[in-house]
Amino acid sequence: MLSALDLARRIEAGALTPAAVIDLCAQAIDAREAEIGAFVSLDLAGARRQAQVPGLAALPLRGLPVGVKDIFDTADFATEFGTPIYKGNRPRQDAALVALVRRAGGLVLGKTVTTELAFLHPAKTRNPHDPARSPGGSSSGSAAGVAAGMFPIAIGSQTGGSVIRPAAYCGVAGFKPSYRLLPTPGIKHFSVYLDTAGLFAASVADVAYAAAAITGRHLRVDHGEPAAPRIGLARTHVWGEASAAMQGAVESAAKAAAVAGARVSEPAWPPLLRDAFMAHPTIQDYEAYRTLAFEYDRHRDALSPILRGMLDKAAAITADDYDAARRTVKRARQALADLMADIDVLLTPSAPSAAPGPETTGPAIFNRLWTLMGTPCVNVPGLKDPAGLPLGVQIVGRFGRDHQALMGAQFLQQALADID
Amino acid sequence: MLSALDLARRIEAGALTPAAVIDLCAQAIDAREAEIGAFVSLDLAGARRQAQVPGLAALPLRGLPVGVKDIFDTADFATEFGTPIYKGNRPRQDAALVALVRRAGGLVLGKTVTTELAFLHPAKTRNPHDPARSPGGSSSGSAAGVAAGMFPIAIGSQTGGSVIRPAAYCGVAGFKPSYRLLPTPGIKHFSVYLDTAGLFAASVADVAYAAAAITGRHLRVDHGEPAAPRIGLARTHVWGEASAAMQGAVESAAKAAAVAGARVSEPAWPPLLRDAFMAHPTIQDYEAYRTLAFEYDRHRDALSPILRGMLDKAAAITADDYDAARRTVKRARQALADLMADIDVLLTPSAPSAAPGPETTGPAIFNRLWTLMGTPCVNVPGLKDPAGLPLGVQIVGRFGRDHQALMGAQFLQQALADID
């Protein structure tokens, strides 16, 4: 994998040029893209031209190449949202986040594969650790492309588990920030209440660097040693759905953190958080039936059976159901804030297991609640299952405390490296 | 003006056809569009074709024509956001709200004039009550078109005061619902935290009918008599900025409501609400600098001086400033909820005065706070200044209590009619 932070430092030091980084990406793409299928469009020549712009190396992203999930509008690339409905669609503008990447000195290398309208129907991308496995979804190409060394930074988005899950399956760092920390205008929405833009990179320090560079916020974790956090081990009510390997991974991560000095507790799990978990599909599907009204009403036959079936059923969700779900969320957010009053971060699985076969993108049961709570989540890579496939563990922070969440994740990543 | 509710009832009763309503619109457009300039594009022939679709009269909007502010994407019309940057822009899809209008049986008659990117630079539209006056902004064409009888329903949006202010200046009912009651995907965003879709119609009952038809929610106010509400007269800290005529209008509205049976009180005004008012531009401008990154970075010379100047300054707003403003808002929302614990709705000016000259779209000082609070607002038309120009008074409800807000506005509108 390409470390964004390492590349940025070498560019800053004059030891590497943005053009040379594109050459590294081109080599990986040449070697692996035919098998992995991370891209829907790619413009190496365009990136090479932009890499020559004077002053690029002085900007926060220093000319690093970025993969952009194909549900973000781009003026220079077709934007097809993973569906034939939008074949050849060419927006006039960049999504806000894409424009901020460019403003920060990032070069858009290409658009990465998304599942259809960022829902569940699997797309062409394969897992770089095993092409017979799913890369996860919906940000399939962004996660797989980072894992395969095709670009050091990628943009994705999460409505259920579309950043953290593919990051876990592909063995890369994924960061779903607090709701709306990264701007969403110009994204193809599914459920506004949930849709959250996120980032992928090789390690926690890399993804934190990218987030800091794009937002101008103090999010980096590579200055000094992270303090030992107070960690809450969150088995949650779906713990039984996690594989034995995943349960073992989370428990050994907790042990490693404790050995490294973290105070690990196991808070009682409030029933309200289970209720909120159950409320997620009500909110998501009610909103999707309205957000995708154009596609459903005018292009129903072009939708996959899984998406069409969900929307068919979603038509029956009432405004009262939706409002009740929103009230549950409001109470659950307070319950979570209370639970975390003397905990810095939670530790929980990123997914039930390692990557499944390609017929599914995997369950989002360890992600939905956090998307709904709006809290920052980080997939910490580094662990493996008995077959050698990546197992991701997840750090969840308090809403708006993104730096604290990233620092907790960095602490855990270092603790895992120490026991490796 | 065309009453949406009256037209819908006559269509339902078989006394009128959707095609005949389009003829009424066409007559008004023929008579007044050259002077008023409400449209950027218009497709009467298309609407007449759609009016022939069988079953239309059985749908909630019964084939009524709708004007759509040109910051909402439409697949059948160019979408130019009021700026030459997007000349000829033709999205592939309808914005969610436009698709919901169509799903409910509304016919999109055309796109209405917006100020540049929904900010402050005045556009071509003139006030139907006096062409030497502004219609207000940024939903200029939607408000003016309803006022001139060109369509019975229009869509707009508000980030500062872009629904309530033009409704007041044009003498029509305007409804800015609770934040996100109407979906925003496919809108050209300015500040996601503030951007709120809204509606215009001739009267409060008309706009409530339209909102109910589009959302499927219980929002209508035309079934039975509204109960007398508990009204809080909210002079707010900017009361001194209101003209004598506006102050008199609000005070006589309070008296009329009291005569009709409302309990009118005057709550003490919490300093936190003044602080939140001051926080509005920090949030709006910080977000706009990021949301409009593409336009600012790539098309700066095509922006108006007023928008470019704001963005130039917004670059200096820090994340700390923004976060502090967000914290102020959170506290202010609680203060407002406390203040309204035994008040159903607030009564306050919709704008400082009647419509100003066309060199400005008027100040949003009586609107910003409510946009920021996310509370439902209704412009109640019916009063006039000494020159005979419309003076709008505003009803503000509690967050999520949109029906209660509309019922309060309906009560007030009837009370004003009784003293007329």
Q: State which fold the B4-215 domain adopts.
A: Amidase signature (AS) enzymes (3.90.1300)
Give the largest Cα separation in chain B, rounded: 60
The SS3 call for residue A42 is strand
Tell me the chain A residues in contact with residue B329 when contact means C-beta distances shorter than 8 Å: none
Q: Of A165, A160, A108, which is closest to residue A140 (Cα–Cα)?
A: A165
Q: State which fold the A1-266+342-420 domain adopts.
A: Amidase signature (AS) enzymes (3.90.1300)
The SS3 call for residue A352 is coil
Tell whether B291 is within 8 A of chain A (Cβ): yes
Strand partners, B390: B384
For residue B387, the model assigns a pLDDT of 95
Check if B134 is active-site: no
Using CB atoms and an 8 Å cut-off, which of residues 311-350 of chain B contact chain A? 319, 323
Tell whether A294 is within 8 A of chain B (Cβ): yes
From A162, A178, A191, A353, active-site residue: A162
CB contact under 8 A, B103 and A297: yes
Strand partners, B233: B347
Tell whether B185 is within 8 A of chain A (Cβ): yes
Q: Tell me phi and psi for residue A211, to 5 degrees.
A: -65, -40
Of B98, B100, B294, the CB nearest to A94: B294
State both tokens at A279: 């409320």
What is the rounded end-to-end Cα distance, in angstroms, of chain A?
A: 18
Q: Of B8, B2, B122, which is closest to residue B60 (Cα–Cα)?
A: B8
CB contact under 8 A, B99 and A183: no
- Reply yes or no on whether the pLDDT at A322 is more than 80: yes
- Reply yes or no on whether the pLDDT at A319 is more than 80: yes
DSSP designation for B118: G
Best probe of the B interface among A80, A92, A98, by most B CBs < 10 A, is A92
β-bridge pairing B345-349 and B230-233: parallel
Burial of B88 (0-12, 13-18, 19+ CB in 10 A): exposed
Check if B188 is active-site: no
For residue B418, the model assigns a pLDDT of 85
Answering whether pTM is above 0.90, one says yes
The answer to whether B216 and B248 are in contact (CB under 8 A) is: no
CB contact under 8 A, B295 and A93: yes
Residues B228, B225: Cα–Cα separation, whole Å: 9
State both tokens at A116: 């259809």
CB contact under 8 A, B183 and A291: yes
For residue A418, the model assigns a pLDDT of 85
The SS3 call for residue A273 is helix
Tell whether A70 is within 8 A of chain B (Cβ): no
Q: Of B369, B375, B289, which is closest to residue B325 (Cα–Cα)?
A: B369
- What residue of A is the nearest CA neighbor of B101? A293
Burial of A88 (0-12, 13-18, 19+ CB in 10 A): exposed
Burial of A78 (0-12, 13-18, 19+ CB in 10 A): middle
Q: Which residue type does A45 have?
A: A
- Could you read off the pLDDT of A40-64 as tens digits, one per residue? 999 999 999 999 999 999 999 999 9
Q: Quick one: pLDDT band at residue A350, thresholds 50, 70, 90?
A: very high
Kindly list the domain boundaries of chain B, sorted by start residue.
4-215
CB contact under 8 A, A293 and B93: no
Transcribe B284-302 into DSSP letters. Answer: HHHHHHHHTHHHHHH-GGG
The SS3 call for residue A87 is coil
Count of helices and strands (H, E) across chain A: 14, 11
For residue A273, the model assigns a pLDDT of 98
The SS3 call for residue A233 is strand
For residue A410, the model assigns a pLDDT of 98
Torsion of CA B292, A141, A207, A186, to 10 degrees: 10
Q: Strands of B230-233's sheet, edge to edge?
A: B39-42, B107-112, B65-69, B153-158, B196-201, B173-176, B377-384, B390-396, B345-349, B230-233, B263-265
Percent of chain A, pLDDT > 70? 100
- Mean of the per-residue pLDDT values of chain A: 97
CB contact under 8 A, A92 and B89: yes
- Could you read off the pLDDT of A364-398 as tens digits, one per residue? 999 999 999 999 999 999 999 999 999 999 999 99
CB contact under 8 A, A99 and B192: no
Of A183, A216, A290, the CB nearest to B100: A290
For residue A376, the model assigns a pLDDT of 98
Q: Quick one: pLDDT band at residue A224, thresholds 50, 70, 90?
A: confident
Region of B191 (left: φ > 0; alpha: ψ -120 to 50; beta: rest) is beta
- Could you read off the pLDDT of A267-297 as tens digits, one per residue? 999 999 999 999 999 999 999 999 999 999 9
Tell whether A293 is within 8 A of chain B (Cβ): yes
Tell whether B215 is within 8 A of chain A (Cβ): yes
Question: pLDDT tens digits for chain B (420 residues)?
Answer: 999 999 999 999 999 999 999 999 999 999 999 999 999 999 999 999 999 999 999 999 999 999 999 999 999 999 999 999 999 999 999 999 999 999 999 999 999 999 999 999 999 999 999 999 999 999 999 999 999 999 999 999 999 999 999 999 999 999 999 999 999 999 999 999 999 999 999 999 999 999 999 999 999 999 988 999 999 999 999 999 999 999 999 999 999 999 999 999 999 999 999 999 999 999 999 999 999 999 999 999 999 999 999 999 999 999 999 999 999 999 999 999 999 999 999 999 999 999 999 999 999 999 999 999 999 999 999 999 999 999 999 999 999 999 999 999 999 999 999 876
Per 3-state DSSP, what percentage of chain A is helix, strand, and coil (rounded to 5)? 45, 15, 40
